[in-house]
Chains A and B, each alone.
Chain A
Amino acid sequence: ETGVTQTPRHLVMGMTNKKSLKCEQHLGHNAMYWYKQSAKKPLELMFVYNFKEQTENNSVPSRFSPECPNSSHLFLHLHTLQPEDSALYLCASSQAGGTMTGELFFGEGSRLTVL
């Protein structure tokens, strides 16, 4: 139990489907992140939210849409995905402040398969 919960753990979707990944952190952190981990490109940073404001977007295609309604919840909305988007999507949180980011606490990930 890491204090960061992701649902669903596994998701299979067609290219025309719309689905969402959910992340919830119970650690009182003020920063949340989405990372993508695939077999060919490990741990790519996708989005960063600090105090609910998006502070970083690493050129992620618009078919991925993040949402952070409060500092404890983070969503990744998925639509018209491609098979190459199949990967493990990891949510993480940290206590950010000053000039450093604290350690990241990762959820167990959502394994996404796009058919």
Chain B
Amino acid sequence: EDQVTQSPEALRLQEGESSSLNCSYTVSGLRGLFWYRQDPGKGPEFLFTLYSAGEEKEKERLKATLTKKESFLHITAPKPEDSATYLCAVQLSGGSYIPTFGRGTSLIVHP
């Protein structure tokens, strides 16, 4: 049973076409929810940490939000260089610091 589910698996957008990626989780006692970006042949690169429902973080064209059951990564007016796989991970409170990752959303932005 997956604790972290990301949707869609793949997303194709035209440059400038805003959209959102979803990360839903079933764990209780969330210590933190993380978003990473992974380019082909590279390791994941950290984007955001969210700790509590209602929290929002922004970086350039990306904005991450968190509710009690899910997180969204909003991409505003994407550019081709935003093409990558976006990974979500959750870390439980009270336990060791081991993030559990979702399978990711592969985003392609066409010029």
A, B bound: no
Interface residues of A (CB under 8 A from B): none
